[in-house]
Chains A and B, each alone.
Chain A
Amino acid sequence: MNRANFVSGAIGVAVGGGALAGASEFPPDVVMNVGPAFFPSMLAGMLVLASAILMVGAALEPAAAAEARAPLRWSFADGRVRAAVTVAAVAGFTLVLGPLGFIPTSVLFLAGMMAMLGMRRPLPLLAVSVGVTAAIWLIFEKLLVLSLPAGILDSLLY
């Protein structure tokens, strides 16, 4: 069995099933017979069908030679940990963007991410973090006049 495809198919069935259930609560169109539920229901049904085909195909597939999968090491040396930390860091960035402001958040985010990805010398780390942040801030704030959250630097910037 191809486990990855089977799980992908199961997720597809769940999403399609959920959409079918959600669409069943939409009000019907008594005049045209084709109301807000028509398209989503049809698509959800098709998704369930296609996902089920993938699941069946995955179940019938001969098992591939078990791939040696390295156990997860809880350190930045493991790519999967770096990926998870990256996602969490972007979520954190978004969370504090308003209260802290773009400039401090971006400098901290860039420095942290660069350090995680192997840039360890403090001076280049700081210089690149500040430089990239300044460039993006100048382009959006001054060139495009699209304001970014000032946060704690509000009184200093405006």
Chain B
Amino acid sequence: MDLLLHSFGNVFHPSVMLVIAMGVAVGITIGALPGLTATMGVALLVPLTFGRPPLESLAMLLGLYCGAMYGGSIAAILVRTPGTPAAAATVLEGYPMAQRGEAGRALAMALFASFTGGLTGALIMTFLSPMISHVALEFSTVEYFALAVFGLSVIVSISGKSIVKGLMTGIFGLLISTIGADPISGYPRFIFGQMDLFEGPPFIPTLIGLFAVSEVIANVQVTQSLQRVRAVVDRYFPSWADIKASLVPIGRGSVLGALIGAIPGAGGDIAAFVSYGETKRTSKHPEKFGTGQVEGLAASECANNACSGGAMIPLLSLGVPGDAVTAVLLGAFVIQGLQPGPLLYKDHIDIVYNVFASMIVANFALLAIGLVGIRLFAKVILVRRAILMPSILVLSVVGAYAMRRDVFDVYFMLGCGVVGYFMQKHEFPLSPILLALILGPMAEANLRRSLVVSGGDFGIILTRPIAVALLVLAVASLAASFYNHRKIARRLAEQAARGEPPPG
């Protein structure tokens, strides 16, 4: 507790408060703009942290993460287009409310629920992460290998409509992660004489390419402007009646969101839909859902914000990112010379508690900035694509170039952008690539080190019960997703045979 209080002292420094506020404001703006995701925002801002102190850098990115999760709701409510995937469930109740002329009421509840969910997630993270990291300190290379495999299996199984495509993308990402020097012998693999690849594929250019450039390539093909409802932002805070009606959904959604976020690979979109579904299931009037129910909106919004705190739990305690945004954040930690995981607690406990304090403060900043700027952010969605897209490209080029001052990195980023565009177009999920780039080297290096210890005997894996349990869970998660996928496909086929339209 002393450490946490001391960290609040560090975070309340004017320069840190300023970067948190900047991060939140930029995050809300990025989140509010359809087509720009929290992952893209963090990826674009990571280059701005080069050479900055760790606390300022991480605090700004955490502020952006919190801001973007809320910002997505603005476009969802006003233009029926979720600003981020995590706000997809918000459309269901938010847009009908705006159509009824209750945009102000919906935006106010979205902000209140986002703040409450985000704060709950941050508090759960603060108290749960140290416990998990304490257990993880006992991990050997075998457990880390199994943990990486488990993380990958979950990521693959829950990403995208097709399991085979999810698997292909995950394996492709793992294959890319083997580019560069072999972790044990140092032998250069797949570098084709290009020494720029000796240290592996450049991480920041890869993620800017996959998550920013690919989106721009898709966005420049669209010309039609957004259809916006007439929004009267006449309210800044939800009424007491709305708060009372939403208290239980917010409480349940916040805890659910944080727990779902803590599962590697499960993002805010899943958390929001699960929370929304639970609220609808337990409601006395489920038939009214979809017509603009404030408790449905609150349930989805609090869950996606709580998810951000939850996703930080495996990142900080195990070094395994909870979602695509935390995968990018892991890159930001590495740039600062910090390796998330149990050793971070051992060697840099001050940084860990600074992260906890920053995340809690960022949620209060979200509430304050959201209240002050709600009218302005409601207008942000009207920024012209013609200005936005080229500006993102310039920022992408500079961001990819800045770290090593090497044009090779810019070409690599462009290549990743083109590959990412075609993959998205053909419904291959992108997040597994990013996570595989992080978990791949972790899996390989730890397996190889284990084999060095055992003299090449794979039986060493079976001697560690936690590792066996994690590998069994990995197989079970893949098997369960195959089963669920087939079940959904069968149900859709039956619906089609009956002539019913597919859901969504």
Name A's B-contacting residues (CB within 8 A): 4-5, 8, 12, 15-16, 19, 22-23, 26-27, 29, 31-36, 38-40, 43-44, 46-47, 50-51, 53-54, 57, 79-80, 82-83, 86-87, 89-91, 93-94, 97-98, 102, 106, 109-110, 113-114, 117-119, 128, 132-133, 136, 139-140, 144-148
Contact call B390/A109, Cβ cutoff below 8 A = yes
Contacts of A27 in B (CB 8 A): 185, 187
CB distance from B190 to the nearest CB of A (A): 6
A34, B222: Cβ atoms closer than 8 Å: no
Query: Are A50 and B168 CB-contacts (below 8 A) given A19-B190, A82-B220?
Result: yes
Indicate if the CB atoms of B185 and A113 lie closer than 8 Å: no
Does B9 have its Cβ within 8 Å of any Cβ on chain A?
A: no
B373 at the interface (CB under 8 A from A): no
A90-B393 contact given A140-B402, A146-B51, CB 8 Å threshold: yes
Residues of B within 8 A of A144 (CB): 48, 50-52, 402
Per-residue A-contact encoding for B205-223, CB less than 8 Å = 1, 0 else: 0000000010011101111
Q: Which of A79, A113, A147 contacts B389 (CB 8 A)?
A: A113
Q: CB-CB < 8 A to B217: which residues of A?
A: 83, 86-87
Query: With A23-B189, A39-B178 in contact, do A80 and B393 touch (Cβ < 8 Å)?
Result: no
Per-residue contact bits, chain B 367-409, to A (CB 8 Å; 1 contact, 0 not): 0000000000000000011110111011101100110010100
- Beyond A109-B394, A148-B398, 6 additional pairs, beta carbon < 8 A: A39-B448, A46-B167, A79-B220, A86-B216, A94-B407, A109-B393
B172 at the interface (CB under 8 A from A): yes
Contacting residue for A33 out of B189, B216, B456, CB 8 A: B456
* CA A35 to CA B221, docked complex, whole Å: 46
- Number of residues on chain B facing chain A (CB within 8 A): 60
Verify if B451 is at the interface (C-beta below 8 Å from A): yes
Q: B216 and A43: CB pair below 8 A? A: no
Q: Which chain A residues border B172 with CB–CB below 8 Å?
A: 12, 15, 47
Specify which chain A residues have a CB less than 8 angstroms from the CB of B451 in the assembled complex. Answer: 32, 34
Say yes or no for B503: interface residue by CB 8 A criterion.
Answer: no
Given known contacts A19-B190, A32-B455, A94-B414, A43 and B220 CB-to-CB distance under 8 angstroms: no
Q: Is the CB of B391 within 8 A of A50?
A: no
Q: 16 A-B pairs, CB-CB below 8 angstroms?
A: A22-B189, A27-B187, A29-B185, A35-B182, A39-B174, A39-B444, A82-B220, A90-B410, A106-B394, A113-B393, A132-B394, A136-B394, A144-B50, A144-B402, A145-B51, A146-B51
Q: Which of B189, B395, B411, B451 has the most CB of A within 10 A?
A: B189
The interface centre, meaning the residue of A12, A26, A86, A90 with most chain B CB atoms within 10 A of its CB, is A90
Q: Is B171 located at the chain interface by the 8 A CB criterion?
A: yes
**How far apart sit A86 and B222, CA to CA, in the bound complex (Å)?**
13
* Residues on the A chain within 8 Å of B165, using CB: 8, 54
| Contact (Cβ within 8 A) B395 A136 | yes
- Is B247 in the interface zone, CB < 8 Å from A? no
**Top 9 A-B residue pairs of the complex, sorted by shortest distance between their CB atoms:** A79-B221, A113-B390, A117-B386, A36-B182, A32-B456, A119-B386, A94-B410, A36-B187, A40-B178
Nearest-neighbor residue (CB-CB) of A55 within chain B:
B164
Whether B456 pairs with A136 at a CB distance below 8 angstroms is: no
- Measured in the bound complex, the distance between the Cα atoms of B280 and A101 in whole Å is 57
CB pair A26 B428 closer than 8 Å: no
Contact yes or no, B220 A47, CB < 8 A: no
* Interface contact B456-A31, CB-CB below 8 Å: yes
Nearest CB of chain A from residue B294's CB, rounded to whole Å: 38
A48 and chain B: residue at smallest CB distance: B171
Contact B48 A19 (CB under 8 A): no
Residues of A within 8 A of B395 (CB): 136
| Chain B positions within 8 Å of A106 at CB level | 394
**Taking A54-B165, A79-B220 as contacts, is the C-beta distance between A128 and B387 under 8 angstroms?**
yes
Write the nearest CB–CB distance from A102 to chain B, whole angstroms: 7
- Please tell me if the beta carbons of A118 and B168 are within 8 angstroms of each other in the complex: no
